Amino acid sequence: MSEHDITFDAMGSHVRLLIGEPGPGMAPAAEAAEEARRTIAEFDAALSRFKPESELCALNADPRERVPASELLRAAVRAGLEAAERSGGLVDPTLVGEIESAGYVASRAGMRGEPLAAALPEAPARRPARPNPAARWRGFEVDDEAGTIARPPGVRFDTGGAGKGLAADMVAARLRGYSRFIVDCGGDIRIGGADALVDPYEVFVEHPLSGERAFVLKLGSGGVATSGLNVRNWRAEGGRVAHHLLDPASGEPAWTGLVGATALGDTALEAETHAKAALLSGPEGGREVLTARGGLLVHDDGEVETVGPLAAKPRIRIPSPAPSA
């Protein structure tokens, strides 16, 4: 039994695909991998806010209220709205102006961030992020019959918050029928295939402060994603470290007492949404977000906390040897 493993750069991250044996009448894994690579490249070209020629930039610049949109853009906007709805507005896809004001104007792909451990002592007081009461994202409407997206002109949309998860899910949908597969779009991961249920993949969770392995998950299906402050951060004007996860209420980088969150979900998009929402909610709210499906919270002091099903105690415990007198 063979598995095809391909790695490439897209969407400002590393993308990795592992594809097992094809089902009857399906293309060989190498061919499917190449097809998936093209799909992700198209996704990236159409939905990047850093590429002026992208369809997303065209939508954001369009003065009309109702704009014709491709199926891909409609799916991406719908995914962003779904993430906002699911997170109660915490994962807000309309913070384009705010993130630019914070200093994230161009792609930071391949750029080293500021050391997080050094940034934490000088960060503002910790508090949970809150949704923006204006909820601008509610002004978006996707019409698949008409093939349009309607929104108040001037309100810009960023698919970045849900893009990698959506891309992983879209590729995974095309790989249905292969014995096993994993689609890893920059740490937003979707797993599938009947064989993976029998022999699950091991997924390592990276610690955002040390870069070491914080936890090992064994997953046979579904999605997993991680959100953290250790990447896409920079030193803003005034010398303070800023990062890309904004508090929708203030429009400023959120410092909540957590530096990372990993979430499980049925899909990569769901996991990505939960991970971001957990991190933005802070320790207490983060536990609530992750309770149902499970996940990890990494606190400012580096402590790794397992939540929900991951925190369940093992049924069989090996007794520790009696202390010697």
Partner 1 sequence: MTEPTARATRRPSPALVLWGSIALFAVLFALLTYQLASSQPPAPRPVLVRKVLKRKVITTYVPTPGQNSVSASGGSLGGEASPASAPITTGAS
* Contact status: 294 vs partner 1 (CB under 8 A): no
Residues that bind partner 1 (rule: CB under 8 A) add up to a total of 45
Question: Residue 36 or 59: which CB sits closer to partner 1?
Answer: 36
- CA 194 vs CA 142, 150, 221, 286: distances in Å: 34, 40, 9, 32
Q: How far apart are CA 235 and CA 153, in angstroms?
A: 32
* Residue 257 C-beta: closest distance to partner 1, Å: 16
- Judged by CB under 8 A, the stretch of 52-60, 86-94, 227-235, 247-255 that binds partner 1 is 227-235
Q: Which is nearer to partner 1, 46 or 263 (CB)?
A: 263
Concatenated DSSP letters for 131-178? --TT-GGGG-EEETTTTEEE--TT----THHHHHHHHHHHHHHHTBTB
Question: Of the candidates 285, 283, 292, which has an alpha carbon nearest to the alpha carbon of residue 310?
Answer: 292
Identify which range of 30-38, 61-69, 147-155, 282-290 contacts partner 1 by CB under 8 A.
Answer: 30-38
What 3-state DSSP class applies to 218? strand
Q: Choose which of 22, 32, 33, 158 interacts with partner 1 (CB under 8 A).
A: 33
For residues 249 to 278, the per-residue mask of contacts with partner 1, x marking binding by CB under 8 A and - elsewhere, is: -----------x-x----------------
> Which pair of tokens denotes residue 223?
């999605």
Whether the Cβ atoms of residue 276 and residue 282 lie closer than 8 Å to each other: no
Task: Kindly list the distances between the CA atom of residue 44 and the CA atoms of 50, 71, 91, 170, 264, in Å, as whole numbers in the listed order.
Answer: 10, 14, 20, 13, 24
| Distances in whole angstroms, Cα of residue 220 to Cα of each of 74, 169, 185 | 30, 15, 17
Among residues 225, 242, 280, 297, the one that binds partner 1 under rule CB under 8 A: 225
Among 54, 159, 226, 267, binds partner 1 (CB under 8 A): 226
Tell me which of 92, 98, 169, 206 binds partner 1, using CB under 8 A.
206
Residue 5 and residue 16 in contact, taking contact as beta carbons nearer than 8 Å: yes
- In the complex, minimum distance from the CB of residue 201 to partner 1, in angstroms, rounded to a whole number: 6
Taking the C-alpha atoms of residue 305 and residue 32, their distance in angstroms, rounded to an integer, is 38
With binding defined as CB under 8 A, does residue 16 bind partner 1?
yes
Q: Which residues contact 145 (CB under 8 A, 6 or more apart)?
A: none
Q: Which is nearer to partner 1, 11 or 56 (CB)?
A: 11
* Residue 46 interacts with partner 1 (CB under 8 A): yes or no: no
Give the residue with the Cβ less far from partner 1, 60 or 230. 230
Binding-site member from 72, 149, 203, 209 for partner 1 (CB under 8 A): 203
Binding residue (CB under 8 A) for partner 1 from 48, 227, 267, 273: 227
> Please, which of residues 152-181 interact with partner 1 by CB under 8 A?
164
Helix (H, G, I), strand (E, B) or coil at 188: strand
Give residue 204's identity as a one-letter amino acid code. F
**Residue ranges binding partner 1 (CB under 8 A):** 1-9, 12-14, 16, 18, 29-30, 33, 37, 164, 182, 184, 186-189, 199, 201-206, 208, 217, 224-232, 260, 262
